[in-house]
Amino acid sequence: MAVITTGVHGNGLEYIEVHSKLCDARIFLQGAQLERFIPRGQAPLLWVSTADDYLPGNGIRGGIPVCWPWFGQHDTHGWPQHGFARNRRWQHIGSEVQDEVVTLKFLLPITDEDRIYWPHDTRLELHCRLSQTLRVSLINVNLDHHPVTLTQALHSYFPIGDIHQLIASGFSSAHYIEFAKGPYAQTTDDVHFDRETDRVYNALAGQQRLHTPNGTIVVRREHSSSAVLWNPWIEKSRRLSRFNDDDYLRMVCLEAANVREDAITLAPGARHELVTEISWLAPGEQPR
């Protein structure tokens, strides 16, 4: 029988835990941030830095931070990188259990303080469907009488064991921007890592695979015209907050997104759902 409990981390962050026949998971109310997802009988599918302090206000370095209503640096100096949604306390608005599959629903209450950044009437929900597969949906509804334009990402951190052995596949025929240069054509299906990598892909297929020494992680995206592939490598790892100098060896981010020219414009009353779906490659499934 699936069990859903609540708890408070030692540093004050509230979370919801799920233990079922299919998986174990933990979601923090701050940012509605998935921080743990372990399919039953398998290894964890999300990575979190041991350097994180789980203090309110930052967002946790790992799991799936929500970047919204903008991705990256805002043009306005001093505004928070990746928007404000990941630093806010979301409301847990629902739990459903069906045949051991647990779906948790969260809502971002947009406060008067937030209207400095986002003076629009927008409903933002995050739904986590927890089976042997993790499915996360970021649902935007424009409740205002004017169109709104936003960028967004589900900034997923993956445990890849050893970056030197990682092969990321499924990138053929795409193109990407990196360090504000490009676009560059992706001439191979595989991506290997030997330097800082911070790419925004376009025209990318809906599924990529991360071939790690511990198995293959399958990452699918829906309604995501962009995807971000990131490893900070050596130098940036030293500058990142809440990140060990050698953490770059063990993680990669592959993010379902709509960023840059793929910004989403919602007409009044319109709805958009960004989805990422994550699992280990099933036994017998073709690795490529």
Which residues contact ligand TA6 (rule: CB under 6 A)? 72, 81-82, 155, 198, 228, 230, 240, 253, 255
Q: How far is the CB of 58 from ligand TA6 (least distance, A)?
A: 9
Residue 138 sits at the vertex; the CA angle it makes with 202 and 208, to the nearest 5 degrees, is 40
Q: How far is the CB of 155 from ligand TA6 (least distance, A)?
A: 6
Q: How far is the CB of 130 from ligand TA6 (least distance, A)?
A: 24
| Residue 83 phi, psi (nearest 5) | 80, -170
The first and second tokens of residue 267, run together, are 């007409």
Q: How far is the CB of 242 from ligand TA6 (least distance, A)?
A: 8
Task: Kindly tell me which of 131 and 156 has the beta carbon lying closer to ligand TA6.
Answer: 156
Catalytic residue status for 155: yes
Pick the catalytic residue: 35, 127, 155, 277? 155
Task: Kindly tell me which of 144 and 233 has the beta carbon lying closer to ligand TA6.
Answer: 233
Burial class (CB in 10 A: 0-12, 13-18, 19+), 148: buried
SS3 assignment for 232-246: CHHHHHHHCCCCCCC
Pick the catalytic residue: 35, 125, 127, 255? 255
Task: Kindly tell me which of 118 and 280 has the beta carbon lying closer to ligand TA6.
Answer: 118
Q: How far is the CB of 288 from ligand TA6 (least distance, A)?
A: 26
Task: Kindly tell me which of 31 and 161 has the beta carbon lying closer to ligand TA6.
Answer: 31
| Residue 157 phi, psi (nearest 5) | -100, 130
**Integer distance in angstroms from the first to the last C-alpha of the chain?**
35
Q: What is the DSSP string of 29-81?
A: TBTTEEEEEEETTS--SS-B-TT----TTT--SBSB-EEBS--S--SSTTPPT
Bridge partners (DSSP) of residue 140 are: 124, 272
Which residues of 189-282 form beta strands (DSSP E)? 190-191, 197-202, 207-212, 215-222, 226-231, 251-258, 264-266, 271-280
Task: Kindly tell me which of 71 and 90 has the beta carbon lying closer to ligand TA6.
Answer: 71
Amino acid at 223: H
* Best CA proximity match to 72, nearest among 177, 178, 153: 153
Catalytic residue status for 255: yes
Asked, as a colleague might, if the bond just before 268 is cis with ω within 30 of 0, I would say no
Task: Kindly tell me which of 81 and 207 has the beta carbon lying closer to ligand TA6.
Answer: 81
Helix (H, G, I), strand (E, B) or coil at 248: helix
Q: How far is the CB of 176 from ligand TA6 (least distance, A)?
A: 13
User: Which residue in the shown chain puts its C-beta closest to ligand TA6?
Assistant: 230
Residue positions annotated with a catalytic role: 155, 255
